[in-house]
Amino acid sequence: MTIVIQKDDGYHSEFRRVNRGIRMGHSQAEKGRNRERILDEAARQIRESGLDALSVGKLMQKVDLTHGGFYGHFASRSELIAQALRRALAAGKAQFHAARDPGRARSFAMMVRSYLSRTHRDSRGTGCAMAALISDVARADELSRQVMEESLEEFIATVSQTIGDRDDTRAIGAVSALIGAIVISRVMTDEKRSDAILRAVRQNLIASVPE
């Protein structure tokens, strides 16, 4: 007890330093969690409503954070959109692979049937983010276009590998047809016409790469 009293100043000084470290660590961890919440919600919103519909004020309100706190996480709305786009594209890719049978190699025909299906067409918020957002990104800044470009190149490489080509010419055509067909089919107000577009592109692509 006497020792504690004799070293009172030094003891409490050290204690305060430890406490400060704990608070700083907690603050950084909380900031990281808040950033993840913002990105998750932003990715969800842009997949459902597009890039232009994203409002920073409404987004921050949705995750129960202040508007002013936004700039503690992102330098600009442009940076947020690029990061949210990257997250949305990653989520779409994960869902695409999750639908595969892990015990069976996916053929090109299987890939085409899965991608050009009614289920995918009707799943704007959970389907391929490339098809959902490609028109928006074409009008976006270079940062967002670079993020989309990376995903497109990866998709082309995957299709090329599935086809078994050394050259990616057919894969480029296939990816363009796959994404384009989904985008156009979602525009059509006549469901039968929308189905016909999916069916026509599906048949042509499968016929172009014999098993």
Domain extent at residue 147: 2-208
- The count of residues in the chain is 211
Q: Tell me, what's the pLDDT at 24?
A: 52
CATH code, domain with 202: 1.10.357.10
Note the pLDDT of residue 193.
98
Tell me which of 32-41, 128-137, 159-168, 182-191 is least confident: 32-41
- Across the chain, which distance is largest between two alpha carbons, in Å? 90
pLDDT at 196: 98
Cα 109 to Cα 60: distance, rounded to the nearest angstrom: 43
CA angle 139–199–166, rounded 5-degree value: 70
What is the pLDDT of the chain when averaged over all its residues? 84
* Secondary structure of residue 194 in the 3-state scheme: helix
Q: How many domains does the chain have?
A: 1
Q: How many CA atoms lie within 13 A of 6 on its CB side?
A: 3
Model pLDDT for residues 116-156, shown as the tens digit of each residue? 999 999 988 888 999 999 999 999 999 999 999 999 999 99
30-48: average pLDDT: 88
What letter does residue 128 receive in the DSSP assignment? Answer: -
Structure tokens at 45: 């919103």
